[in-house]
Amino acid sequence: MRIFYKTGFLLVLFVAIFFVSTSIAADLKYSITVSKFENRSNWRGQWNLGDAWGAVLTDSLNQTGKFIVLGEKDMRLEAMGEQDFAASDRAAGGGKKVVTGQMTPAQLLVKGDITHFADGTAGGGGGIGYKGVRVGGKAAKAEINVIMYIVDSSTGQVVASKKCYGDISKLGVSLGLTKDGFSGDVGGFKKTNAGKAIEKAVDVGVGFLTEQIKGIPWSGSVIMVKGNIAYINRGQREGVSNGQVFDVGESTVLRDPDTGEVLDQIMDKTGSLQVVKVKEKISLCKITQGSGIQKGMAVFLPEN
């Protein structure tokens, strides 16, 4: 009887540890950016379909709290342009040094193609228009088809893809868009039939992406070692927590000698780290196992 209870206790303890470790891993965040979605549908309107999709997707990713959502490519290019301007002799610096080299790189890219879009409220219907939004008086339907790709930024490889569909049908009073209807007001846009259809398709894509990241390796790097403490470039922003355990070692990328394509990435474990202090962008970790740990080594989750 005692053996049975002991075995049962160990089983419960193992299950508890498994779910705690799984929960910790699931809380880690990936930096992600939304690339331009190409409009390959036959729809051409007075507002940009790709911009609308990108804005809703970026907003929805940010709302999940599971990602570090970076600005779209044009935003980041503008930021770099502003840094270059501030560093030039044409800008009044006031003695303040321009800081560069601190932009967060994206671990994942989301891009894709809009293959079909229809907006039955785009025109007609008898209604009235005000501030870019048209109120119609007949049945209307909006629908969209999108192929979304998740790309590993370090290899450029597509790690997953998904066909996303969204539609909305409204009887009676319906909302559509007139000229200049989409101008970055994501909240207002979502109230239109077109916005609701896009949001439904985005929800499909975000749900799929959230599931896919469980199988995408999460990693960081050692940025400094002082005595028995290793500093890593992942912190509160990435979901790292006190007490968390990581493996550390050399990362070897295997490439096809003919094409240069990345075939695999091997992590050779050198030791183990345990987080003792977490800051916004970095964490201080105690070296609990191994020696020879140094700057530049990869930090990754232990294998279950």
Q: Which two tokens stand for residue 135?
A: 């109120």
pLDDT in tens, 3-25: 444 444 333 333 333 333 333 44
> Which residues fall within 8 angstroms of residue 264, CB to CB, at 6 or more apart?
253, 254
185 and 232 assigned to the same domain: no
Q: Which two tokens stand for residue 200?
A: 């439904």
Domain that holds residue 188: 30-92+104-214
Residue with tokens 């005595």: 227
Helices and strands in the chain, H and E counts: 5, 14
193 and 225 assigned to the same domain: no
Measure the CA angle with vertex 283, ends 269 and 287; round to 5°. 40
Closest CA to 225 of 285, 274, 268: 285
Judged by phi (left if over 0) then psi (alpha if -120 to 50, else beta), residue 173 lies in beta
Residue 114 to residue 52: CA distance in whole angstroms: 11
**Tally of domains in the chain:** 2
- Distance spanning both ends of the chain, measured CA to CA: 31
User: Looking at residues 288-293, what average pLDDT do you find?
Assistant: 92
> Which residues fall within 8 angstroms of residue 96, CB to CB, at 6 or more apart?
none
Q: Is 98 contained in some domain?
A: no
CATH number at residue 225: 2.40.10.410
116 and 236 assigned to the same domain: no
Strand partners, 254: 264
Size of the chain, expressed as the number of residues it contains: 304
pLDDT in tens, 96-111: 555 444 446 678 899 9
Give the range with max mean pLDDT: 65-74, 260-269, 275-284, 295-304: 275-284
pLDDT in tens, 216-248: 778 889 999 999 999 999 998 888 999 999 999
- The pLDDT value recorded for residue 129 is 42
- The pLDDT value recorded for residue 152 is 83
**Where would I find the H helices in the chain?**
2-27, 49-64, 73-87, 186-189, 193-212
Q: Is 63 contained in some domain?
A: yes
pLDDT in tens, 129-187: 444 444 444 457 889 999 999 988 777 788 889 999 999 887 444 445 544 555 556 77
194 and 252 assigned to the same domain: no
Residue with tokens 């800051």: 279
Q: Which two tokens stand for residue 68?
A: 């570090």
Run of H or E including 143: strand 140-152
Does pTM top 0.85 for this prediction?
Answer: no
206 and 69 assigned to the same domain: yes
Which residue, 187, 214, 241, sits at the end of a domain? 214
> Which residues fall within 8 angstroms of residue 185, CB to CB, at 6 or more apart?
none
Distance set, CA 172 to CA 13, 124, 194, 283, 289 (Å): 58, 14, 16, 56, 68
By three-state DSSP, how is residue 192 classified?
Answer: coil
